Each structure stands twice: as structure tokens, then as C-alpha cells.
């Protein structure tokens, strides 16, 4: 996974850990809870339940999902931050975790209160426009936006969401547009198809049915490299070097969780996500299994927190 390895030089340790092989062998000693800071039914919940079912078999202990949505993922995340650091309470986090670290006043520290277990999976976003917008490339979009500062209207799935922050990242290329936040991707996409807004970023699986029929236009992918599934769609990075926005899922535990336990969790999660059946299942939904080391994931988190903090300061975004 090139996009993961690229972060590995940033630093290690969202919470430094020490290795305890003996404890890893005896782990887990009781049921394991996976906290999902979203309501049931979404992608995070599906991924967590896949892990829970297969880890239950591997560990011989019940692994269950606890949905704790609310407060922009802060509610569920705080539960894990305050849990005993023994590996029996896990957090499935997403870009909301790193965005919150730069734009919210939090009841926990995004770096010192957690330890990274590993990345689980990633999915790209796609930049799409209504066909009436006279652009067919990122270069066209930048030129048009610069000629009409603030006049282009883009949708997102909510304030501080990856689809919001990814669009605002274009500010560093001198682009200024007007943001209309929605309560989720579905209503935003409905208004984009209807021509009430002009463009947005959203997941490929949501966008593809509309771009393939011409109701919407695919402009670019937000990944650093072109998608194997959609090789004809260029990346934003081909026009703006270094640009990358991923929707991702990762696993974390409270700080001071023994290193041996973290290594065991990392190895077993990688095993689950590397199985062909799971790879094929998630690939069909536009999600790529992306297991990696805890050090790589830790470095990625630090880089993402810094990146989104910079964007948040640029747009003076503060979420309650």
C-alpha cells in the first residue's frame, strides 16, 4: 500500500507502547468490545461486525460491536479514551478522528490518549460535477473558480466531513467556492443531480451509478494514484501535486495498552482483512482492504491531524 508507506517517515507513536509478548499470548481474557462512533448500518458498522465475527472465532472470546454515535464521533471516541488500557476496548475510527483533532475542542487528546493498532481499509472519493458546469478537468475547475471567486457552489455530507475538508483543501491552489453542508451524502447527491449545487466529492460507490449514465460528470479521484477500477479517471494530484484525500477505517486502543497486545490485534486484523473472501466482498463495495503496521498507521494519523488542522485554520472552522 504505497499511500500508507508514504506516511511512515512522519513519526511513530500515537501513544508509545512497550512490547509484552507474554501478555499477548494470554490475550484476550474476557469479551472484547469494538466501539463504533456511528449509528448501526453504515460502512464503519459493517467493517466492525466483519472483524467482530471473525475475531470471535480466532480469540475464542466474544467480540462484539457497541454503536455509540453522537457529537461528531466524539462520544464513542471518548468512551475508548477512558477505558482500561488492556486491549479489551477497541475503537474503529475514520477521518473524522483526525479532522476533529484540528477543529474541535475535545474531551481527550487525539495523540496522547490513544495508541494505533493499524489501518483496516480505505476507499477513494471522486470529484463530480453537474453536467451544466463547463469543466472537464481539475485544471478547468481551478480556472473557472478563480475567475468567479465564491460563486461556484459545492455540497458536502456535513461540516467537517472528509467531503467538506477535501474540497476546502483546494483553497491552497487559490480556489474559493461556497459550501452547502447536508446531513449525509444522499441528500447532497440528490441536490447535485437536480442542479441545485454544482459539484461535490463523494465515495465512488455512490457516484458511479450517476457518472456512468451521464447524470453527473466524473472529474477526478482524490487518491494519489489512479484507481485500478477506473483507470480513465485522472487524479487531482496530477494537477495539484501532493493532493490526497482518503476515506479510511482504522483500529485504535487506549494509550498505555501493552505493545504485545497491540501487535496481536494488528496481526489478527491483518489476517482477517487479507482473506480473499473479505477482500472480494469489500472490493465489490468500492472498499480496499489495507492492513499495515501500527507504526505506519500512527504516522498517518499524525500527518492527517496536522493536515486537517492547517485546513481548519485556513477556513476558520470550529465545530462545537
Given pLDDT bands bounded at 50, 70 and 90, which one contains residue 208? Answer: confident
Question: How large is the average pLDDT for residues 77-86?
Answer: 97
The domains found in the chain, sorted by start residue, are 2-123+246-314 (3.40.190.150), 124-238 (3.40.190.10)
Question: How large is the average pLDDT for residues 217-243?
Answer: 93
Could you give the percent of the chain with pLDDT greater than 90? 69
164 C-beta neighbours (distance < 10 Å), count: 25
**Residue 8, pLDDT score:** 36
Could you give the percent of the chain with pLDDT greater than 70? 92
Contact between 246 and 222 under an 8 Å Cβ cutoff? The reply is yes
Can you tell me the distance from the alpha carbon of 97 to that of 37, in angstroms, rounded to the nearest whole number?
10
Residue 60 backbone phi and psi in degrees, to 5: 70, 15
Can you tell me the distance from the alpha carbon of 8 to that of 231, in angstroms, rounded to the nearest whole number?
26
pTM, 2 dp: 0.83
What cell does 278 get? 473479505
Contact between 159 and 176 under an 8 Å Cβ cutoff? The reply is no
Whether 234 shows a pLDDT value over 70: the answer reads yes
Question: How large is the average pLDDT for residues 308-319?
Answer: 88
**Residue 141, pLDDT score:** 97
Can you tell me the distance from the alpha carbon of 269 to that of 261, in angstroms, rounded to the nearest whole number?
12
**Residue 103, pLDDT score:** 85
Question: How large is the average pLDDT for residues 43-49?
Answer: 90
Q: Measure the N-to-C terminal CA separation of the chain; round to a whole number of Å.
A: 35
Amino acid at each position: 500500500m504505497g499511500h500508507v508507506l508514504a506516511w511512515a517517515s512522519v513519526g511513530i507513536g500515537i501513544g508509545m507502547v512497550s512490547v509484552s509478548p507474554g501478555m499477548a499470548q494470554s490475550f484476550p481474557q474476557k469479551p472484547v468490545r469494538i466501539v463504533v462512533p456511528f449509528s448501526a448500518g453504515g460502512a464503519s458498522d459493517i467493517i466492525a461486525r466483519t472483524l467482530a465475527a471473525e475475531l470471535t472465532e480466532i480469540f475464542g472470546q466474544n467480540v462484539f460491536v457497541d454503536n455509540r454515535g453522537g457529537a461528531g464521533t466524539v462520544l464513542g471516541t471518548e468512551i475508548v479514551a477512558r477505558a482500561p488500557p488492556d486491549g479489551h476496548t477497541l475503537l474503529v475510527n475514520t477521518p473524522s478522528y483526525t479532522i476533529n483533532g484540528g477543529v474541535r475542542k475535545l474531551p481527550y487528546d487525539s495523540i496522547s490518549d490513544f495508541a494505533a493498532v493499524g489501518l483496516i481499509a480505505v476507499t477513494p472519493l471522486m470529484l463530480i460535477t453537474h453536467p451544466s458546469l463547463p469543466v472537464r478537468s481539475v485544471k478547468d475547475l481551478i480556472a473557472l473558480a478563480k475567475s468567479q471567486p465564491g460563486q461556484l457552489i459545492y455540497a458536502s455530507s456535513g461540516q467537517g466531513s472528509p467531503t467538506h475538508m477535501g474540497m476546502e483543501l483546494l483553497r491552497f491552489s487559490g480556489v474559493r467556492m461556497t459550501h452547502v453542508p447536508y446531513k449525509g451524502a444522499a441528500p447532497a447527491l440528490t441536490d447535485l443531480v437536480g442542479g441545485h449545487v454544482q459539484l461535490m466529492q463523494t465515495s465512488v460507490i455512490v457516484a458511479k451509478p450517476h457518472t456512468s449514465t451521464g447524470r453527473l460528470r466524473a472529474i477526478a479521484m482524490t487518491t494519489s494514484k489512479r484507481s485500478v477500477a477506473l483507470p480513465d479517471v485522472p487524479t487531482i494530484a496530477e494537477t495539484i501535486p501532493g493532493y490526497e484525500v482518503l476515506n479510511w477505517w482504522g483500529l485504535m486502543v487506549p494509550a498505555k495498552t501493552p505493545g504485545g497486545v497491540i501487535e496481536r490485534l494488528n496481526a489478527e486484523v491483518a489476517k482477517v482483512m487479507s482473506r480473499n473472501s473479505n477482500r472480494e466482498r469489500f472490493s465489490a463495495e468500492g472498499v480496499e482492504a489495507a492492513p499495515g503496521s501500527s507504526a505506519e498507521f500512527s504516522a498517518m494519523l499524525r500527518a492527517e491531524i496536522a493536515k486537517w488542522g492547517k485546513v481548519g485554520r485556513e477556513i476558520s472552522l470550529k465545530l462545537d
